[in-house]
Amino acid sequence: MKMIMAIIKPFKLEAVKDALADIQIEGMTVSEVKGFGRQKGHTEIYRGSEYTVDFLPKCEIMVAVPEEKVSAAVTAITEAARTGKIGDGKIFVLPIETAVRIRTNEDGEEAL
């Protein structure tokens, strides 16, 4: 089991969700987050004064998948979220120790 954590551009969320659904990954957790990478922020102007907004709005997707689906899921997210421009985001894959479905007490991959 792996946890895939993807930081993407907010307007790509819908496309990523659909791409994951296409490979039978059902369920994910999404947060609206702020951040920056090499892209850095942008400047805004307020009443003539410039200021830098470093943290840009992004979407963070958390999706837990069984081992055999990890590479397919990573590919699906990469393809769906790519615009080719700086700021497209990153994907992190983390190990999961265990998982439990609260309603039924199932654990391990059964719970995904």
Binding region for other proteins (CB under 8 A) = 9, 11, 14, 34, 41-42, 44-46, 51-55, 85
Under a CB-based contact definition with an 8 Å cutoff, are residues 87 and 96 in contact? Answer: no
Residues 6 or more apart in contact with residue 8 via CB below 8 angstroms: 16, 58, 59, 61, 77, 81, 88, 89
Residue 43 CB, nearest distance to other proteins (Å)? Answer: 8
State the nearest-atom distance from the C-beta of 47 to other proteins, in Å. 9
- The answer to whether 81 and 16 have CB atoms below 8 angstroms apart is yes
Shortest Cβ 46–other proteins spacing (Å): 5
Nearer to other proteins, 55 or 107 (CB): 55
